[in-house]
Structure 1
Amino acid sequence: MTMLQHLPYRLGCPSWNAPAWRGAFYPADLRAGESLGYYVRTFNAVEGNTTFHARPAAATVRRWAETMPADFRFCAKLPRDISHQGDLRDHLQATTEFLDLLAPLGPRVAPLWLQLPARFGPERLDELAAWLDHLAPRELAVEVRHPAFFARGAEERALNRLLHARGVERICLDSRALFACTAGDPAVQHAQSKKPRLPVRAAAFSGSPQVRFIGGPDLEANQAWLLPWVERVAAWIEQGSTPHVFLHTPDNRLAAEQALRFHALLRGRLPGLPELHAPVAAAPQPALF
């Protein structure tokens, strides 16, 4: 059993193939096709952004299955043509075909993520319910962005009841640290133009709460926003849940370092956790505190 299998939670980044990680988190001469093999030495989950933008080739999925440990979790996002185009009920067959494509990964695809656009509002909850029921009992998580779902009114309560009744997680998105940035960094400006700016909802509707933390490029400045999540995640673990935590930075150049910093903070709260390191210490790592 590996050290990662002893972790009582899931930790990862939006992807495993960030070119800027070479020479810092990865060896400088690492080939792109080798990235996953190094990533899984440190992290036990990944936010599957790649499947949102394009379906992988079947041969690619087979290579992933050969590389990912059995206990690894690939939180695959439904392709955007399913989640963002038309009625979800019209995409049930496409959803099944997507799951068939990922079948070589087996139970590592958990939970499956449905990221809905801001235009997906309360009037479409019946549509969401039908899609979720079609996939039951698969482990699922949903991210919503319509303002009505953050207004603490009847619409938000209806959404929460729908998800809670099915044991489907409401993904906790926290972009406050990103929007606290005022620097004119092009990567920050691009991220601020793309990422949603919504109130935080620390939901836990099943045994695997899902957290997406989107920070800025200053990891020290991010810490003030990250510390409440350290306490929340520690409390979930103490309650017997298995939280999933994914760390972003504007261009994700520092996402791996941000994830390691989160784990170091969590170890301060839960001292029994093992220490995590970059898979190859190609350069001295900066002090965390």
Structure 2
Amino acid sequence: MHTHYVGTAGWSLSSAAASHFPLDGSHLQRYAQVLPCAEINSSFYRSHQSATYARWAASTPEHFRFSVKLPRSITHERRLRNCAAELDRFAGEVTQLGNKLGCVLVQLPPSLRFEADVAAQFFQALRQRFGGMLACEARHPSWFAAESTELLATQRITRVRADPPAGQPGPHVPTTEVAYLRLHGSPKIYYSDYPADYLAALAAELHAQTQADNWCIFDNTAAGAALFNALELQARLMDAAAAQLLP
């Protein structure tokens, strides 16, 4: 059975949204009682101790999943080259999440062009360390051409569907059956609230996709819209599932 993983980047609970979550526990414990996943973005900026990942895993229900963003030292500084040591360190840390590691997210800088040999070697190295879901949010137009699409599909790397799309010259072309949406806020990135009609259409689209899991992460966190958008989308998906069960 497929699962809709709807959540936000991080799990901070604003006072405005607090009433939608249990009163007791840490922010993560309260968040995880309501939403089924979260994206760890802080791993992009700094390393976390293995014990921290283990504690996060222990703080969440069995069904909960984390997506973890690859460090910028790999994507933005080394630009996917000669990063075996960094990959080993990262893998050693995040594997403490155990079966709650749902995805590793690779976000590339807008200036990074697709180079077939570099990309192939990098994703092979990443796949050797992670057997589960891998997702890539590329932001240079060269990553949306036929050659890069074929490489991602061959390596089983899910192409992120981003809003607003960066570098993408045309419609979204998926590379695996699994969907990973990153909704950054539009028109004002990181700030804009998604309107009800947008979320209704998105819920209908995701509900119709019954062949694989779907991830939808709201990254419009700057003004607190992400939590409310995630809660509304999840409610719409649950309503659609309940309606489907009615005789």
What TM-score, normalized to structure 1?
A: 0.72
What SS does the corresponding residue of 2:87 show, helix, strand or coil? helix
Match of 1:226 among 188, 195, 199: 199
Q: Which AA in structure 2 matches 1:166?
A: Q
Counterparts of 1:118-197 in structure 2, within 5 Å, are 118-122=110-114, 124-136=115-127, 137-150=131-144, 156-175=145-164, 196=166
**How far apart are the structure 2 equivalents of 1:74 and 1:248?**
15
Deviation at 1:164, TM superposition (A): 0.7
After TM superposition, which residue ranges in structure 1, 4 or more long, deviate above 6 angstroms? Answer: none
Aligned position for 2:31: 39
CA separation of 1:63 and 1:83: change in aligned 2, threshold 3 A = same
8 Å contact kept, 1:175–1:198: no
CA separation of 1:74 and 1:199: change in aligned 2, threshold 3 A = farther
What SS does the corresponding residue of 1:249 show, helix, strand or coil? coil
Instruction: Note the residue ranges of structure 1 that are not aligned, 5 or more in a row.
Output: 1-5, 151-155, 177-195, 275-289
**How far apart are the structure 2 equivalents of 1:244 and 1:200?**
21
Aligned position for 1:215: 185
Deviation at 1:65, TM superposition (A): 2.1
8 Å contact kept, 2:22–2:33: no
8 Å contact kept, 1:115–1:144: yes
Instruction: Note the residue ranges of structure 2 that are not aligned, 5 or more in a row.
Output: none
8 Å contact kept, 1:76–1:111: yes
Deviation at 1:7, TM superposition (A): 7.5
What TM-score, normalized to structure 2?
A: 0.83
8 Å contact kept, 1:20–1:253: no
Larger strand fraction of residues: 2
Deviation at 1:52, TM superposition (A): 1.0
Aligned position for 2:232: 261
1:232-254, Cα deviation, whole Å (9 max, x unpaired) = 31222x2x211011123251512
- Would you say 1:95 and 2:87 are equivalent positions? yes
Count residues in correspondence. 238
Cα-Cα RMSD: 2.8
What SS does the corresponding residue of 1:206 show, helix, strand or coil? coil
Match of 1:51 among 43, 56, 66: 43
CA separation of 1:20 and 1:54: change in aligned 2, threshold 3 A = farther
CA separation of 1:267 and 1:70: change in aligned 2, threshold 3 A = closer
Identity, in percent, stands at 23
What SS does the corresponding residue of 2:42 show, helix, strand or coil? helix
Q: Which AA in structure 1 matches 2:204?
A: E
